[in-house]
A and B are shown apart, each in its own frame.
Chain A
Amino acid sequence: MKSLAELAAIRSKMIEQVNMRRDENVNTRVVVGMATCGIAAGARPVMLEFVEEIKKRGLEHVTVGQTGCVGMCRLEPIVEVYVKGQDKVTYVHMTPEKVARIVNDHIVNGRPVEEYTIGAAQA
């Protein structure tokens, strides 16, 4: 079972890193729609997969957040990826299986996955 002592140890380790504050390095935000429509369509496993994949690759410049309903419920789960200095990319009908490719192609290698985007879905 997890203990609070373990947590205190993590804190000590983190304190050192926070002294070299990395906030200014955060240049990519992944935002998952988490309103009723998003959740019902399966947003939670998608969000957890992003967290997992980003942690696995140690991508410290990426944060994962949530947003409400943007009024396109039929396209949920919707994920928006904001890379500093670039246009927002909106991915629709997301599944956990699509996450690894978005992290690899788009976030790491800078090539948005066109076929998962809202543009491809509505074409």
Chain B
Amino acid sequence: MMRELADNIMDIAQNSIRANASLVEIDIEVSREKDLISFKFIDNGCGMSEELVKTVAQPFTTTRTTRKVGLGLPLLSQTASMTGGEFKIESEVGKGTTVSVSFGLSHLDRPPMGDVAGALFSLVLMNPDTDFLFVYDVDGKSFTFDTREVRAVVAPIPLDNPEIAAWIKENIEQEITTLHGGMIL
């Protein structure tokens, strides 16, 4: 199991990058009313065949050649089921993939959210040519971050420019901290 849900977020989004997605949307919802934390990863990457979708949440499925196991999705779906949440993956070749997952917010076994701002920032910094849309919702109040907006303002300076990256990091950190009112669950 990952130590923090933030690590799962980074890990699952990397699948979209490897699928050559040009846009990766990550929706994060924290709902005290539903007692759930939900993530949705939506990409416009190469997608997967029906056969691959069926086996992709099993540990011995991977498209890698450096090793024979792929643990990203199995770890995610296991964490979901052990906390009373759900896991679903939908994909279409040539269109993209959507991974939806939820965790029981107050469940004893749910890993902490952790440094989600750091995870989202790392994704932008390490993949400066990919566009990301983050929607972070806590009990109905939300914050949206779209690299396309940032890109429109700063072009032709790349997003991994140190000063631009620092702005992105502080922006995401402040917004998430504000949404959670200081205490990140």
* Chain A positions near chain B (C-beta within 8 angstroms): 1-2, 4, 6-8, 10-11, 13-15, 18, 34-37, 39-40, 42, 44-45, 47-48, 51, 54-55, 63-66, 68-71, 73
Contact = CB atoms under 8 A, between A and B. Distances in A.
A6 B167 contact: yes
Interface stretch (B4-12, B21-29, B32-40, B83-91): B4-12
A42 B3 CA distance: 9
A69 B10 contact: no
A34 B154 contact: no
Contacts of A71: 66-67
A36 B70 contact: yes
Given A18-B156, A47-B122, A69-B67, 18 more contacts: A2-B167, A7-B150, A7-B167, A8-B153, A11-B153, A11-B164, A13-B163, A36-B72, A37-B71, A39-B11, A40-B11, A44-B118, A44-B122, A45-B115, A63-B160, A68-B66, A69-B66, A70-B66
Contact of A36 (B75, B122, B125, B178): B75
Q: Do most interface residues of chain B lie in helix, strand or loop, or is the interface mixed?
A: helix
A11 B11 CA distance: 31
Interface of B: 2-3, 6-7, 10-11, 14, 18, 64, 66-67, 70-72, 75, 115, 118-119, 121-122, 125-126, 149-150, 153-154, 156-157, 160-167, 170-171, 174-175, 178
